[in-house]
Each structure stands twice: as structure tokens, then as C-alpha cells.
């Protein structure tokens, strides 16, 4: 896959968040390398000058660590999330180490730190993560089937490597969670994910597949190519009156109660 990598100078790095559980977000990179078919961050392309498709470019904010203030009480006790429209642990992070340098700068500020990733590279920074009084690290796991993972998020860490990383975080005493999302109808076996990870996850978050905007085009193309028999079912769920997600939500609540695991559900019930 051809990927355009560009080093840029950012004007700011800690920005106010629209996410429900974060006061601020940090995105060390613009763009992503994962090529997830369900990516909701595609809208970010219009804020760049790129002509490449989303998923075919990454801008590296090389000065990002320098934009973290050395001394301030502004962020103490406030929640800062890495990252909202990229992955803080893209493969490029091995070279640039922006996220690691950002964490080093954040330690004296002691925010409530949240990290969510699809990469096992996060274990590299366990030594820094342990220095935050309030820190949680989450892994997105959409499936336990690595063949399906290669279809829907081809350039991400394997499922088994993510689970191994969760175990290492648990061993280090770092609070961790599994983000099961998006749930791909008839393909994501979320019950199996819970059973495979409950020994190393403190919390589960659930999100259903959102097909708003141009996400549906990407999902539809994938279904046509890989799972044509499911296309009609997906269209029924999203473009006709369906109680599919209501039923799934109730099943999640019941199963989590039975398994005695903490959970949060973030479902989109609107149509395209």
C-alpha cells in the first residue's frame, strides 16, 4: 500500500474534546495507517490539503511534544484522551516516538489519562503509564477471528497480540478495558470476546456499526466482495424499520450481568 508520510509543524496539540468521557484530546498524527473499512474519522480529510484517499496519508506532528506546557495546573484532574481521530501507536510511532515523548511531558501535569489503540506497541510505554495516578488503556477488539480482522482492519496488530498486551498491562497494575466496536452484525461474536479477555479487562465498552456519511459505501463494497449474502441483512438493519440493535443491547446487558463484568454501551440508533 502506497502511503504518503509528511512531517508538519502543529500550532497546538491539546484540544478540547467533544467525546462524552474526555475533557481534552491529543492526536499526534493526522490520518491513519490501519485502513479500517468502518473508519468514522474519514471526515477529517476535508480539514487537510490531501488529495490522497483517507488511509493513504499520515501527517506527523513532529513538534507535538514541545507544545505540552512544562508547568500548569490546568490539566490536573482533567481527562486527556489519546487519540480521537488517529491511533497514537501507529507503526510510525516506532520511529518518531511522539506519543512516548508526549507521555513524558504529561507526567508532571497528572491528568486523568486515557489511551485507546489497536496496537500492542503501547506496552513499550508501560514504564511511563505507571507514573500516572489515574490512567486507563483500552484496546479495540472487533473480532477474535484474525482472518476477519485482516479484512476489516488490515494493518493493525493481530487479535492475539492485543490480548497479550492487555495481559501485560494487567500485570503492571494499569487499568484496562476492551472496546468492542464497531459490532459488525452477524460477524462480531462479542460474547466470545468477553470470555477471552475477562481475565485481563476491567471494563467493556460497546459500540454498534455506524454507517452514516460515506462509511456505508466502504462497508457495502466490502460486503459485496467478501460477504455478499449479508448485504441484504445489513440493508434491512440500517435502511428499514428494525429492532436489531435494541435486541443486541438487551443481550449485552444480560450477558454482562451474568458474567459480572462492568460495561458501557454507546449505540447509535439513528439511520443513515
What is the rounded average pLDDT of the residues 126-151?
Answer: 97
Out of 43-57, 83-97, 198-212, which region has the weakest mean confidence (pLDDT)?
Answer: 43-57
What is the rounded average pLDDT of the residues 66-80?
Answer: 91
Model confidence, pTM: 0.92
- What number of CA atoms fall less than 13 Å from residue 200's CA on the CB side? 18
Burial class (CB in 10 A: 0-12, 13-18, 19+), 93: buried
Query: What is the reported pLDDT for 47?
Result: 59
Q: What nine digits make up the cell of 145?
A: 477471528
Query: What is the reported pLDDT for 1?
Result: 60
Q: What nine digits make up the cell of 149?
A: 480482522
Count of residues for the chain?
272
Count other C-beta atoms under 10 Å from residue 130's C-beta.
12
Furthest-apart CA atoms within the chain: distance in Å: 57
| Confidence band of 272 (pLDDT split at 50, 70, 90) | very low
Residue 50 reports pLDDT greater than 70? no
Query: What is the reported pLDDT for 147?
Result: 96
Residue 95 reports pLDDT greater than 60? yes
Do residues 97 and 43 touch, judged by C-beta distance below 8 A? no
| Confidence band of 19 (pLDDT split at 50, 70, 90) | confident
Do residues 100 and 124 touch, judged by C-beta distance below 8 A? yes
Domains and their CATH numbers in the chain: 4-266 (3.80.30.30)
Element (H, E) at 11: none
Torsion of the alpha carbons at 114, 117, 123 and 126, rounded to the nearest 10: -10
Residue 75 reports pLDDT greater than 80? yes
Position with higher pLDDT, 35 vs 136 = 136
Amino acid at each position: 500500500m502506497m502511503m504518503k508520510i509528511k512531517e508538519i509543524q502543529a500550532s497546538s496539540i491539546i484540544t478540547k474534546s467533544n467525546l462524552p468521557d474526555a475533557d481534552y484530546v491529543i492526536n499526534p498524527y493526522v490520518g491513519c495507517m490501519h485502513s479500517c473499512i468502518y473508519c468514522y474519522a474519514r471526515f477529517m480529510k476535508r480539514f487537510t490539503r490531501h488529495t490522497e484517499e483517507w488511509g493513504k496519508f499520515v501527517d506527523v506532528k513532529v513538534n507535538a511534544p514541545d507544545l505540552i506546557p512544562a508547568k500548569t495546573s490546568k490539566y490536573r484532574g482533567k481527562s486527556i484522551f489519546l487519540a480521537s481521530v488517529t491511533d497514537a501507536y501507529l507503526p510510525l510511532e516506532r520511529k518518531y516516538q511522539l506519543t512516548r515523548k508526549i507521555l513524558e511531558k504529561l507526567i508532571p501535569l497528572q491528568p486523568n489519562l486515557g489511551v485507546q489503540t489497536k496496537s500492542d506497541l503501547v506496552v513499550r510505554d508501560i514504564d511511563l503509564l505507571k507514573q500516572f495516578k489515574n490512567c486507563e488503556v483500552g484496546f479495540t477488539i472487533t473480532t477474535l477471528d484474525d482472518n476477519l480482522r485482516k479484512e476489516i482492519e488490515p494493518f493493525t496488530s493481530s487479535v492475539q497480540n492485543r490480548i497479550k498486551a492487555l495481559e501485560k498491562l494487567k500485570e503492571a497494575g494499569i487499568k484496562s478495558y476492551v472496546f468492542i466496536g464497531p459490532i459488525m452484525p452477524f460477524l462480531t461474536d462479542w460474547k466470545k470476546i468477553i470470555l477471552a479477555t475477562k481475565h485481563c479487562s476491567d471494563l467493556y465498552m460497546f459500540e454498534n456499526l455506524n454507517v452514516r456519511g460515506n462509511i456505508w459505501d466502504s462497508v457495502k463494497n466490502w460486503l459485496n466482495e467478501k460477504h455478499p449474502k449479508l448485504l441484504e441483512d445489513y440493508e434491512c438493519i440500517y435502511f428499514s424499520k428494525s429492532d436489531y440493535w435494541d435486541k443486541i443491547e438487551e443481550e449485552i446487558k444480560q450477558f454482562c450481568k451474568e458474567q459480572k463484568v462492568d460495561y458501557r454501551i454507546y449505540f447509535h440508533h439513528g439511520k443513515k
